A and B are shown apart, each in its own frame.
Chain A
Amino acid sequence: MGHHTIQEVSQEKFEFQGRAKLIPLLLIVLGAVMAVIGSMQVKNNWDAEDSHHSNSHTEEVHDAHADEHSMDAIKTVSLNDNPNTESIHTSEGHEAHADEHHGPTWMTRVWANLLMNSYYFWLFAVGAVFFIAVNYVANAGWAVMLKRIMEAQSSYILVGSILLVGIVIGSKDSLYHWVQYFHSTAAGDPSAAGYDKILESKSWLLNNTSLFFFIPFVTIVWIMIRMKLRRNSLAEDSEKGLSMFKNSTKWSAGFIFFFAFSFSALSWLIIMSIDAHWYSTMFSVYNFAISFVTGLSVMMIILQYLKIKGKMTLVSDEVTHDLGKFIFAFCVFWAYIFLSQWLLIWYTNLPEETVYFAARLQGDFRPLFFINLFMCFVAPFLVLMMRNAKRSPVVLIIAASIILIGHWVDMYLLIMPGTVGDHAGIGLLEIGTTVSFLGLFAYTVLNSLSKANLYPINHPYVLESANHDVGP
């Protein structure tokens, strides 16, 4: 087996036309139609259900103050009690609490679903920006051939951020119960009946300034840095030398520093504040793990798609192998973060912490909880462990898809129990919205991919990447 070295990387372009253009557009329309039909179904079922249930609960709430009720529920929740009694307590507490704020309506489910999908797809783009930056800062060469895929994937950050910020602001009244609380008369008045000490103590972060200014500010900074990196990368194509590389490295270092803090804050604000009484110090790392592993899986699927199309032939099995290793490693990382969060909460068994897992381990969410663990860790761990698996396109596509679906369930579990609660379900609405977002994501990414060469031909490490060898 002679070893032959690639001396020059040829220019190659992806053409965005025909079916590649049509299918994403069709997906957007199809998904939107499905989502509209689904939401109508949800609306009708909701009204029917409401007339059934509402009488039994509203009376209860009028007896006692809703927040006392919810605190009671929190106190009785313990993960080692008999699950049946618990579920009664939690659902009671939850609905009591929810009823005070007029309960979840069918629109809550639509909003929660939009938030879930916009956040999910936005994380792909965020993961890609982070990966570009990490490659610059670590001075890494192996993934340079994939740089344009990362850049294309990160191009969704603009559309994704606009959608996410719009949806967060639009849904704030129906999804975030702390928004409702701060609007109520009890806020800021310790003598008032519904005064919530926990929420008051978090008012420095959970307020309108954060929602209207901090989230847009952070996303704008990310978008600007991403644009700078992309411009440098495109300029490099026509200009040899190290100046662009050095400039990008500086921006990447700055980005990572800013990203570490701002991503944490955004994950608290957007997702963790749904369960505003609860908090976990692992939560932002958990979200980062999701972002990175899903970003890598999407990258792998785009790469394999281009390979099927006959493009990117210079990306050898060695590079794909390393990307597969990265996916494998970050599946384990996700499981590690999951366990770190779960283990401490389980061990200490503090009611205000266990309430989060109690809502997810009981009732309708219980099977999804285990499906999530299986699809995000067990299955990819076992599938991707073998060397040959990481070199087989079919296995890689399957593994990446399992991970992506698993993390969709993960997102569902992050958002739904705290917002829609018992009314949550996976139906036409959820699937339709995801399909629609998928179409939008695919359209944006493929469009951006066609705007530049598939290889960064003048990147200083491009030949290192082309001749990358992982060894025996």
Chain B
Amino acid sequence: MVDKSILLDNKKFTVGIFDDSDKLLHAVNTLKEKGVKIFDCYTPFPVHHLDHALGYHRTNLTIGAFLCGMLGCLSGFTLAYYMNVVDWPMIIGGKPQDISVFTSFIPVMFELTILFTAFGMVIMFFARSRMMHGIKEDLLSRRQTDDHMVLAIDNEEDQSVSNEDILALLKKEGAIEVNDSKEAFNTSLTSEEELAEILKSTKTSTKKTKKK
């Protein structure tokens, strides 16, 4: 999901916006059965089993974590060995200054393993999720960051299931809003008027839900 930049190509998506994660999950399963290729889902929180339904692979971040840990462990050993044995040997508690004091290196190695893994994971996670400084948000709906879930289908080329059918299906599955040519927008490019309009529509839709 993170590889897909939706902002750059000016793509048009068929989207269904949901306010219930169970409905979204059900819609994904139904659409997959019909043979519709789903581009991605954008949710403000992790939805259980959605990753299975979309057919995502398990992350490889754990291998990165292992490598970071190994690097940290080796760094710890190198640090302790270089300091205690090579560069500045010191007599501590009458212990010799060679590899036989390996035991005293273990806490350093352990701590650096943890440190490197923790920092490595944070950096890798942000890099993998494209959450770096200077990256603009690209959204299909403003409320996908709050309480709405967006199901995006990229069927500009693939027309095995027609747009009308997909829209009908999405509506049937309980989408509160459907659109067959939604373009991703960048929050930083939104003009003042657009923003006011979006806020207004957000307010009205909130009112509607309250009435229900």
Contact = CB atoms under 8 A, between A and B. Distances in A.
A124 B59 CA distance: 36
A472 B93 contact: no
A370 B96 CA distance: 21
B70 to A, nearest CB: 11
B95 A2 contact: no
B106 A349 contact: no
B103 A343 contact: yes
A348 B94 CA distance: 10
B51 interface: yes
Contact of B103 (A1, A342, A469): A342
Nearest to B62: A387
B146 to A, nearest CB: 24
A3 B94 contact: no
Given A80-B96, A343-B103, A347-B104, A1 B62 contact: no
A377 B55 CA distance: 36
Given A80-B94, A349-B94, A385-B66, A343 B106 contact: yes
B157 to A, nearest CB: 26
Interface residues of B, number: 21
Given A339-B106, A342-B103, A349 B93 contact: yes
Chain A residues touching B, majority SS: loop
B163 to A, nearest CB: 26
A348 B95 CA distance: 10
Interface residues of A, number: 15
A331 to B, nearest CB: 15
A14 interface: no
B59 to A, nearest CB: 7
B60 to A, nearest CB: 11
A6 to B, nearest CB: 15
A46 interface: no
A342 B49 CA distance: 46
Given A3-B49, A385-B66, A472-B51, A347 B58 contact: no
A346 interface: yes
Interface in B156-187: none
Given A343-B103, A347-B104, A1 B53 contact: yes
B212 interface: no
Nearest to B103: A346
B29 interface: yes
Interface of A: 1-3, 80, 339, 342-343, 346-349, 385, 387, 469, 472
Interface pairs A-B: 7 shortest CB-CB: A1-B52, A3-B49, A346-B103, A472-B51, A472-B58, A80-B95, A343-B103
8 contacts: A3-B49, A3-B52, A339-B106, A343-B104, A346-B103, A347-B93, A387-B62, A472-B58
